[in-house]
Amino acid sequence: DKPVVCLANQNGSQVECELGNPMKRGAQVRFYLILSTLGITLQTTDLAVELALSTISEQPTLEPVVARARVVIELPLSVTGGPSLKTLGSAFLTLLWPHELSNGKWLLYPLQLELLSAPGLRTACSPAANPLRLALVYGGS
């Protein structure tokens, strides 16, 4: 198994990858392309990448394939305190996030909040996360 070699053009808008020469019938190759976030805005919900596959053999019906990827903007936060407090009621963490902008877009929309506290102690969040009840989908293959 030889490594996949990719070369990008000067402005990075196209990349050409050598997957194998020759590539044996039924062979599979997995590789990753890391895309720049330049030009992605808070309104970007997905990306389309056109894959123009080519081979030296004649295949007149070989059409480009469009791969789509959902864009999820995450903001990982962690708050670590000092020595433990006498009572939980004496500690508060306030995060202000704008739920909905005037144009109807959501900014820093919390899909899920996890609060770690003493075992068996339930901690409520106000306002509740995910008021639109959107599905939380984890990536992976």
64 and 114 both lie in a single domain: no
Could you tell me if residue 81 is inside a domain? no
Say yes or no to pLDDT of 74 above 70.
Answer: yes
Name the DSSP letter for residue 90. Answer: G
The predicted pLDDT at position 7 comes to 92
Q: Are residues 63 and 3 in the same domain?
A: yes
User: Which of 73, 105, 121 represents a domain boundary (last residue)?
Assistant: 73
Average pLDDT estimate for 38-45: 80
Which of the four pLDDT bands, split at 50, 70 and 90, describes residue 53? Answer: confident
Structural domain contains residue 33: yes
Cis peptide before 131 (omega within 30 of 0): no
Instruction: Verify that 66 and 96 share a domain, yes or no.
Output: no
Give how far Cα 112 sits from Cα of 72, 100, 138, Å: 13, 17, 12
The domain in which residue 62 lies consists of 1-73
CA 141/CA 136 separation, integer angstroms: 16
Q: Is 9 in the same domain as 67?
A: yes
Q: Which of 41, 40, 109 is nearest to 74 (CA)?
A: 109
User: pTM of this prediction?
Assistant: 0.44
Residues 54, 18: Cα–Cα separation, whole Å: 10
Q: Residue 99: which region, alpha, beta or left (left: phi > 0; alpha: psi -120 to 50)?
A: alpha
